[in-house]
């Protein structure tokens, strides 16, 4: 039986994320990041399937802003913590849920360009008797120029 060792998985994931930061980019900050926490309990009705679906997001959004020793913004982490998404059909009360373990990093460069790196589990939807019906997991990295045009993925 194969067992996933969490410390090894964490180290590999961290190494992958750090490899996306270009050489010469300073990510060290001399002071702790500014941290903002928002408890989220948001419900919205979507009409994407030809019938209404109620989506509820519950969790904590943690935003960490990092600055260099001169007080210049370097990067921001947005962490979805203790997050659960539930989709419910209001006509029959049936629902499907997923946890969200997800991090977005925004890295600002001196020339005004920036990189957005998204990593983790966005959603993993399983319907009993049907199996996995949707999954969004992995790493997405896009670099934008100073005018917000994507220049690399």
So where are the chain's domains? 35-152
pTM: 0.69
pLDDT (tens digit, 0 to 9) for every residue of the chain, 153 residues total? 333 333 444 444 444 444 555 544 445 546 789 999 999 999 999 998 889 999 999 999 999 999 988 888 899 999 998 999 999 999 999 999 999 998 999 999 989 999 999 999 988 988 888 889 888 899 999 999 999 999 987
Q: Residue 93, Cα to own-chain centre: how many angstroms?
A: 29
Q: Is the dihedral of CA 69, 150, 136, 55 positive or negative?
A: positive
């Amino acid at each position: 039986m194969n067992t996933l060792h969490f410390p090894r998985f964490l180290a590999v994931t961290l190494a992958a994320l750090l490899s996306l930061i270009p050489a010469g980019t300073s990510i060290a900050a001399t002071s702790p990041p500014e941290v903002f926490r928002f408890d989220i309990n948001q419900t919205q009705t979507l009409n994407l399937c030809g019938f209404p679906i109620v989506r509820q997001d519950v969790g904590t959004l943690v935003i960490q802003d990092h600055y260099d020793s001169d007080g210049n913004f370097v990067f921001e982490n947005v962490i979805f913590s203790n997050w659960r998404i539930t989709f419910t059909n209001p006509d029959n009360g049936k629902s499907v849920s997923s946890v969200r373990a997800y991090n977005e990093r925004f890295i600002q460069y001196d020339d005004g360009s920036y990189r957005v790196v998204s990593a983790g589990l966005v959603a993993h939807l399983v319907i009993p008797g049907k199996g996995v019906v949707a999954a969004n997991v992995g790493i997405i990295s896009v670099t934008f120029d100073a005018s917000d045009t994507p220049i690399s993925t």
